[in-house]
Amino acid sequence: MDFTPTEEQAAARDLAARIFGDLSTHERLTAAGTGSDAELWKALCEAGLPAAVEDIGLLGLVLLLEEQGRTTAQVPFAASCVYGLLAVSAHGSAEQRERLLPAIGDGTVVVTGALPEAAVRVGGSGELSGVVPVVPWLRDATYVLVADDGHGLWLVRTVDARCDPVELTAPWSAGRLTLDGTPGERLGDRVGGSDAEGAGKDAYDDVLATARTAFAGLQAGVCAGSVARAVAHTNTREQFGRPLATKQGVQLRAADAYMDTEAIRVTAYEAAWRRDEGLDYATHALTAAWWASEAGSRVVHAGQHLHGGTGADLDHPVHRHFLWGRQLDAYLGCGSEVLQELGALIVDGEGDA
């Protein structure tokens, strides 16, 4: 395996780093509150970065999400690319791909996802009923990808559903989704029959594994940003006439956080690379998700702890990394849940070769 970025992936990553670095500043994030930064999202779309994911693949997306995570940029980039662009590209019908992909790529259509599986029921005519208490980036979305209780995937227009704002600790523009006989569009336009059920389960498993891999990449960036802030702080903050970074305890804590961040990054890279190469990657996606949850929580705690009393300031930039890290710890399954799922997959003999 070779995780070296292609020329196109490297160019997209560098462009993303420049845009996020220029526009996702502490002042702009503070002004955005818990919502998204519309100007930043417009800049990313005008640069063609969401559309580029079709060409640079999941590994390329992971590289872009690392840059978003470093700055905790408040845009629906991960959600729209995973639940929209990649999901429709891989599992949508020809008509859905032709109709939706250009609009998702230019940012005029934003997609988010109500995954993992939700308590959503499907009526005989394809109407959906149920409640999803929290859907990140729902307030920004044009469509939401909903999983029903049989693992079928449905695209629902947010204007047809009830979407109530919900505040999370992390500023993810979240909402509560209520479906009450709401019309839905089956992803792939497959309806009826056992073959459709099997195809739906395959699509659900692939989209969930893709999401876990992508958000692990986002967590790697969040952690890298937290570590970078901790290093800068401990190199400039002095105690008894010496920088905090010269103390062995600080060095060990920072080193552990760095190694945990690298573990998240490399497992996300491997899962993404395998998907792009057409290889089985179910266990690899779960492994990346486990590291993102367990190690990610350790890293953002360490980053805040290494700031000392400053880390307790809710207005300090490092606190934003802490909030993102804790939310990503639980999103799409916390560490213990993911580990149980991974163990069951291995025992059942369905793990990757």
pLDDT digits 0-9 by tens, 109-132: 999 999 886 779 998 888 999 999
For residue range 254-276, what is the model confidence (pLDDT) as tens digits?
A: 999 999 999 999 999 999 999 99
For position 351, what pLDDT does the model report? 58
Query: Residue 281 is which amino acid?
Result: Y
Count Cα neighbours of 202 within 13 Å in the Cβ-side half-sphere. Answer: 12
Does residue 238 surpass a pLDDT of 80?
Answer: no
Q: What is the rounded average pLDDT of the residues 60-87?
A: 97
Does residue 348 surpass a pLDDT of 70?
Answer: yes
227-230 LR contacts (CB < 8 Å, sep 24+): 227/254, 227/257, 227/258, 227/261, 227/299, 227/302, 227/303, 228/70, 229/303, 229/307, 229/317, 229/318, 229/321, 230/254, 230/257, 230/302, 230/303, 230/306, 230/307, 230/318
For position 233, what pLDDT does the model report? 87
For position 322, what pLDDT does the model report? 95
Range with the lowest mean pLDDT among 44-48, 64-68, 201-205, 215-219? 201-205
For position 291, what pLDDT does the model report? 97
For position 97, what pLDDT does the model report? 96
For position 110, what pLDDT does the model report? 98
**Where does the pLDDT of residue 220 fall: very low under 50, low under 70, confident under 90, or very high at 90 and above?**
very high
Distance CA 201, CA 221 (A): 31
**Where does the pLDDT of residue 352 fall: very low under 50, low under 70, confident under 90, or very high at 90 and above?**
low
The rounded percent of the chain whose pLDDT value lies above 70 is 95
Are the C-beta atoms of 40 and 23 separated by less than 8 Å? Answer: yes
For position 192, what pLDDT does the model report? 41
For position 311, what pLDDT does the model report? 80
Does residue 93 surpass a pLDDT of 90?
Answer: yes
Which residue(s) pair with 54 in the sheet? none
pTM over the 0.85 mark? yes
**Where does the pLDDT of residue 38 fall: very low under 50, low under 70, confident under 90, or very high at 90 and above?**
very high
For position 128, what pLDDT does the model report? 95
Range with the lowest mean pLDDT among 63-67, 144-148, 240-244, 336-340? 240-244
Q: What is the rounded average pLDDT of the residues 126-154?
A: 94
The rounded percent of the chain whose pLDDT value lies above 90 is 77
**Where does the pLDDT of residue 200 fall: very low under 50, low under 70, confident under 90, or very high at 90 and above?**
low
Instruction: Provide the b/e sequence for 224-248 (b: ≥16 CB within 10 Å).
Output: bbbbbbbbebbeeeeeeeeebbeee
Are the C-beta atoms of 270 and 280 separated by less than 8 Å? Answer: no
For position 234, what pLDDT does the model report? 87
Q: What is the rounded average pLDDT of the residues 204-228?
A: 97
Distance CA 325, CA 293 (A): 8
The whole-chain average pLDDT of the chain stands at: 91
For residue range 150-197, what is the model confidence (pLDDT) as tens digits?
A: 899 999 999 999 999 999 989 999 999 999 999 999 998 654 444 445
**Inter-CA distances, 260 with 80, 86, 296, 297, 298, Å:** 27, 28, 7, 10, 8
Stated length of the chain: 353
